[in-house]
Amino acid sequence: MSNECHMGNPGDAGRIISLGWLGNVWEFPRKRWNLPICQKSFFLFALQENNLLKVPLEVGLMELASSGFECPGIIRLLESFIGTSTVLVVMELFEPCINLLDFINSQRRPLAENQAKGVFLQVVLAAHHCQKHGVFHGDIKPENLLIQVTTGQVKLSDFASGNIMHGEKYTSFTGTLIYAPPEWFLFQHFMAEHATVWSLGVTLYEMLCGYMPFMWVEAVVETQVTFTQELSVECQNLIKKCLAFNPLNRPTVKEILKHPWLYLKSSE
């Protein structure tokens, strides 16, 4: 990591991958990393600062998630450059890929159980890796999951809404509200793992049914899960467990990895 922000020449950049109020992402040609890369730039005022790491929080979280044994399910941070007002993050370019929501929409139907199972297992493994390294992603959803259309490999991206993982209640939610758990709307606080599991349940339901389980706050609080697609009993059981109203009744991420649905072969 460098303390100077060596912004690349915009004329050297390739296609724009995404634009957002927290930062823009461009594709860049191969350089000294000898692999396709993308760069994300953002302003320091848009981010909190992690006093422990002395770097912008998003960068610190990516560094933590990249530490230790490399997780294939997380976009790899290659380098970061921190200037006085701007940050440049260099990441691997995962291609050919699209985000999971666009992938589902391109199929014009929800994912089949076996297909969703392969995707979901990778997502849960990525979430588990984040937790082990002290990272609360804070915004797990199909738009932040990149799927390589040729192989089915999935990577978790965008740590802009994340935080350091701890065992206390969080009193601010910076992720996508429709993926927030009911305790946030009722009490304005939540625990990191409980919220992670809730977002995993919403994501799995969305993959299999093609739409959100709850479309407004009242529905989130009521937490009545219904299925219009024909799903196995084991699959429905996992979704209902993840979307339990009482956060203490939800499984841990590690317990999800042991759920029988992930290892049962469907007859489809």
Would you give per-residue pLDDT tens digits along the chain (268 residues)? 444 434 444 444 444 444 443 444 445 555 555 555 566 766 554 444 444 446 788 888 988 998 766 688 998 888 878 777 777 777 777 778 889 999 999 988 999 999 999 999 999 999 999 999 999 999 999 999 999 988 999 999 999 899 999 999 999 999 999 999 999 999 999 999 999 999 999 999 999 999 999 999 999 999 999 998 899 999 999 999 999 999 999 999 999 999 999 987 655 4
Q: What pLDDT, on the 0 to 100 scale, is given for residue 189?
A: 98
pLDDT of residue 54: 62
Q: Answer for the pair 146, 154: CB distance below 8 angstroms, yes or no.
A: yes
Where in the chain is CATH 3.30.200.20?
A: 10-92
Task: Please measure the distance between the N-terminal and C-terminal CA atoms of the chain and give it in whole angstroms.
Answer: 48
Choose which CATH entry (3.40.1190.10, 1.10.260.40, 3.30.200.20, 3.30.1300.10) describes domain 10-92: 3.30.200.20
Between vectors from CA 102 to CA 99 and to CA 107, what angle results, nearest 5°? 125
Tell me the two tokens of residue 48. 């909190």
pTM for the complete prediction? 0.84
CATH of the domain spanning 97-262: 1.10.510.10
- Catalytic: 139? yes
- Which amino acid is located at 206 in the chain? E
Alpha-carbon distance 83 to 155, whole Å?
Answer: 28
Query: Distance between CA atoms of 131 and 140, rounded to whole angstroms?
Result: 13
User: 5 near 83, Cβ under 8 Å?
Assistant: yes
12, 102, 139, 158: the catalytic one is 139
Given this model, what pLDDT does residue 77 score? 84
d(CA 261, CA 146): 23
Cis bond before residue 96 (omega within 30° of 0)? yes
Burial of 261 (0-12, 13-18, 19+ CB in 10 A): buried
Type of residue numbered 107: Q
Residues of the chain with CATH 1.10.510.10: 97-262
